[in-house]
Amino acid sequence: MVSMSGKRGNGEGSIYPYKNGFAAYAWVTTPDGKKKRKYVYGKTREDVHDKWIKLHAEAKNGPIATRHRTLSAFLAYWLESIVKPNLAPLSYVSYEGCVRLYIAPYLGTKRLDKLTVRDVREWLTKLATTCQCCAQGKDAKRAPSRRRCCAAGECCEAYASRRVIQAARDALRAALTHAVTEEEIGKNVAALVKVPKPRRRRIKPWSAVEAGQFLADGVIREDPLLAAWVLVLCLGLRRGEVLGLTWKSIDFEAGELYVDHQIQRAGRQILHRETKTEDSDDFLPLPALCLKALRMRRAQQTGDRKAAGDLWQDSHGLVFTTKYGTPIEPGNLTRMFALRARRAGLRVIPLRNTRHTCSSLLVALGVHPKVAQRILRHSQIAMTMEVYAEASEEEVRSALGKLSEAMGGTG
């Protein structure tokens, strides 16, 4: 009951005149388990009374934070205490970049609990129409003699792409999802804002003839990365998976290869780490073409080790290394693939699209979709195509044997 003086019962809080209106407080339990006062304010006693009733109800349902952080403060906590210890290094690098470059400069000063759907929508609109060279001072960071656009008074209009905008919104949404989980806010306003999906350019994969021509050129030139290209085209291995292969993961006698590690660049570090999920780990049968290419690679690496002498650095027993034994930079492998394709007289396709080439080859050769799913290690059959039959180990080996024949003349 409320007395005529406006006072509450013991421990409930009270309403009282405050500046140009009224204020009230209620005792709440904070997330760290302490009892503290939580205040609400309003122009009239009725407004404050309604807010007080709502606050009292929330206090009964669970912990309530008495001090709300700015978005920048929460994002810093989220990155350091949640993302860094629990997600992959590459995820941390991606989220940290989005926060530092695209979120904090625009929304960082806003209070976490006061962030609205409108704030997020206006932020995304501004992000799409702001030159990032100007905003980040990219041109200003160059030596005075090399400044050529924004710092020289001519805006280069380097606007954020759809992909960047989507990544920034997704990072904010992920952070606010955690804020909801920790009961710092009631809803995720970033999840309520739609962003246009980036358009993906469709690239026609190589045919079996083109893939065979590429590998044949590598054989003629004794390409030290021939085995990498064979594994990419025949088994659909990803760039990081190829570079992360170790000699221990290859069983020449059984004719099998185990994929469980990858090489990734995360910021300034090159990491040799486990694959993204356990679904990505698998034993894959090696056809004769792959086995021969890997034996050639082993002989080449032995030659490199002898030539390097004391300069040789053994990096986890990696299959593919530089001439001094160090890991190959993932970006360099992509560039070398494009260089080899031009040298072979072929149209250049992105290295990541070789997985589509492998998939197309398997389908073109009449390989059962379930077998293709096993080779490509798709977690969902829908990613390959709808099928309803199981594949045996013999069928997998037979499918890869057919693929080797399609690459004819390279073995």
Domains annotated for the chain, with CATH where assigned, are 15-61 (no CATH), 71-192 (1.10.150.130), 208-406 (1.10.443.10)
pLDDT at 184: 78
Question: Is the CB of residue 318 less than 8 Å from the CB of residue 243?
Answer: yes
How many CA atoms, within 13 angstroms, populate the side-chain half-sphere of residue 381? 10
Q: Name the residue type at position 349.
A: I
Cα(194)–Cα(9) distance, integer angstroms: 46
Report CA dihedral (76, 80, 81, 84) to the nearest 10 degrees.
Answer: 140
C-alpha 83/C-alpha 277 separation (Å) is 17
The three-state secondary structure class of 159 is strand
Strand partners, 7: 14
| CA nearest to 204, candidates 308, 81, 103, 346 | 346
Q: Which neighbouring-strand residues pair with 26?
A: 38
User: CA-to-CA distance for 17 and 192, rounded, in angstroms?
Assistant: 37
Integer-rounded Cα Rg, in Å, for the chain is 29
Instruction: Name the nearest CA neighbour of 235 among 250, 213, 216, 219.
Output: 250
What pLDDT, on a 0 to 100 scale, did the predictor assign at position 219? Answer: 87
CA dihedral 118, 124, 126, 132 (to 10 degrees): 160
- Regions in the chain scoring below 50 on pLDDT: 1-12, 277-280, 386-391, 409-411
Structure tokens, 51:
């807010």
- Under a CB-based contact definition with an 8 Å cutoff, are residues 124 and 192 in contact? no
C-beta separation of 60 from 21 below 8 A = no
**Which pLDDT score, from 0 to 100, does residue 100 have?**
94
Question: pTM of the prediction?
Answer: 0.64
**Residue 406 to residues 117, 212, 303, 336, Cα–Cα distance (Å):** 55, 7, 31, 24
Predicted local distance difference test score (pLDDT) of residue 89 = 82
Q: Return the ∠ at Cα 385 (arms to 379 and 391), rounded to 5°.
A: 70
Question: Structure tokens of 26?
Answer: 């209620």
In the numeric block, which tokens belong to residue 246? 């170790």
Residue 12 is predicted with a pLDDT of 47
